[in-house]
Amino acid sequence: MNKKHRMFIRMVMASLVRRRSRMIVALLAVVVGATILSGLEMIYYDVPRQMSAQFRSYGANVIFTPSGEGYIRPEDLEKGAAQFSSEELEGYTPYRYENTKIHNMPVTLAGIDFDSVLKTSPYWHISGSMPSLDGETLVGAKVAESLGIKEGDDITAVNTFEVTSETDTSDIPSYELYTDPESGETYCDHELDLHVSGILETGGSEEEYIYVSLKDAAALTISERGYDIVELSVAAMQDELSETVEKINGSSVGLSAKLVKRVTASESTVLTKLQSLVFIVTSVVLVLTMICVATTMTAVITERRKEIGLRKALGALNSSIIAEFMSEGLVLGGFGGVIGSVFGYYFAQFVSMNVFSSSITFRPLLIPITIAASVLVTGLACLIPIRSAVDVDPALVLKGE
């Protein structure tokens, strides 16, 4: 670096450091712009993740069904679920449906995993409590209303099935067995005593079932079998989900995967619109920032017209003056970009905590993007006032006109 370059840096730094009060005003304009830009960038890129998590409150978005006749085996379920990354997979709930009678009225009973069901159906509202022990049941509101069941009641579920030579009758009390006089076949009315821990209210078809644990469902039917359906909640975009679903269906896993289009399609639409909105807001902010910085820089440069006139009187060419003033602007833009990146993260964090109630993901790549944008915007904002300022007539300026 020769003496000329060193003097150039010395002048630029002296202007920035020794004119602190003026430069702080300009820096403030750049920092505010860079903060909002950086914050919106982070929100823009974090919206899909945040919204995917929010959309999970709408319930499952992927369903596993048996690939043919029969049921989903637990080991196939494990293989199918493993196709989604553990970060994306919020949870899954297997369902086993059985016909039963309560108070001699036919009711569909669903065996589920009470520990995981709220992950796939977070909208369930329970009056009372979620069953935590075997022998406890959750009754759908419509069933409860039609059968007059209340929270805290004890009920008996009866499952009727034909006893064949393959049926293990060792645990069946003899009074549950009877023979149909017409057909001569033996049937069993197997009973299961249940305590109603809560009433389920969803406003949907879920209210038409009673829910027991998978273990109680097996005890009621005296048979171990797979699942009829499995609901999965996956925090991922529709395209990504479709890809994984195709992959599962193309593999030899013994189940069939489907997207819940009603949920995934609306998620995708809302997300696209939300991202477009953030993009437009970011663009508008960028333009406003440029105007704001340009206005500030115009004021800062205008008050230095006399200095520009002096430099010209000392023999400075317009290109030298533009280079000096632009460098000041670019340093200001870079410095403002660094500060704005840090503040932007906290701004995005604040917005995320208040809107999505979760923290934002820090993306280091956005820092150089913010700094580059800040330098570019400040450079452009400086260019216009500098170009007009260098046209000053040194003789007039130095005379104070």
Partner 1 sequence: MSKLLELKNISKVYGDLHALDNVCLSVDKGEWIAIMGPSGSGKSTMMNIIGCMDKPSTGQVIFDGKDISKESRRKLTEFHRDKIGLVFQQFHLINYLNAVENVMVAQYYHSMPDEKEALEALERVGLKDRAKHLPSQLSGGEQQRVCIARALINSPELILADEPTGNLDEANENIVLDIFRQLHKEGTSLVVVTHDPEVGEVAQRIVRLEHGKIVSDKKNEQFSEQQEVSL
The residue ranges that bind partner 1 (CB under 8 A) are: 2-4, 6-8, 10-11, 14-15, 18-19, 306-307, 310-317, 320, 393-395, 398-400
For residues 78 and 393, which CB has a smaller minimum distance to partner 1 in the complex? 393
Nearer to partner 1, 190 or 311 (CB): 311
| Cβ 327 to partner 1 shortest distance, Å | 14
- Nearer to partner 1 (CB atom), residue 314 or residue 365: 314
Q: What is the DSSP letter of 137?
A: E
Query: Which residues partner with 137 through β-bridges?
Result: 196
Task: Closer to partner 1 by CB, 17 or 365: give it.
Answer: 17
Q: How far apart are CA 222 and CA 276, in angstroms?
A: 55
Q: How far is the CB of 16 from partner 1 (least distance, A)?
A: 9
Tokens of 254: 């013994």
Nearest to 48 by CA among 237, 234, 263, 239: 237
Strand partners for 257: 64
Alpha helices (H) in 208-304, listed in sequence order: 214-221, 238-250, 261-302
Least spacing, CB of residue 19 vs partner 1, in Å: 5
For the CB of residue 12, give the shortest distance to partner 1 in the complex, in Å: 11
CB of 391 to partner 1, least distance (A): 10
Nearer to partner 1, 2 or 252 (CB): 2
**Closest Cα to residue 186, out of 176, 196, 194, 195?**
176
For the CB of residue 44, give the shortest distance to partner 1 in the complex, in Å. Answer: 40
Which backbone phi and psi does 347 adopt, to 5 degrees?
-65, -45
Tokens of 17: 């450091």
**Residue number, 13 or 353, with CB nearest to partner 1:** 13
Burial of 276 (0-12, 13-18, 19+ CB in 10 A): exposed
Nearer to partner 1 (CB atom), residue 309 or residue 333:
309
Q: Smallest distance from the beta carbon of 329 to partner 1, in angstroms? A: 16
Using a CB cutoff of 8 Å and minimum separation of 24, what contacts does 303-311 make?
Answer: 303/22, 304/389, 305/389, 305/392, 305/397, 306/397, 306/398, 306/400, 308/389, 308/390, 308/392, 308/397, 309/392, 309/393, 309/394, 309/395, 309/396, 309/397, 309/398, 310/394, 310/397, 310/398
Looking at residue 182, its amino acid is E
- Nearer to partner 1 by Cβ, of 3 and 252: the residue is 3
In whole angstroms, the minimum distance from the beta carbon of 345 to partner 1 comes to 33
Q: How far is the CB of 23 from partner 1 (least distance, A)?
A: 10
DSSP 298: H
How far the first Cα of the chain sits from its last, in Å, is: 39
DSSP state of 70: S
- Report the helix count and the strand count for the chain, using DSSP H and E: 12, 11
Between 250 and 315, name the residue whose CB sits nearer to partner 1.
315
Q: Do 98 and 109 meet the contact criterion of CB atoms below 8 Å apart?
A: yes
> Which helix H or strand E contains 44, and what residues bound it?
helix 20-55
Q: Which is nearer to partner 1, 90 or 328 (CB)?
A: 328
Based on CB atoms, which residue is closest to partner 1, 10 or 150? Answer: 10
DSSP letter (8 states) at residue 251: S
Residue written as tokens 């003033």? 325
Least Cβ distance, residue 361 to partner 1 (angstroms): 43
Q: How far is the CB of 401 from partner 1 (least distance, A)?
A: 11
CA distances from 272 to 44, 58, 210, 265 (A): 11, 18, 38, 11
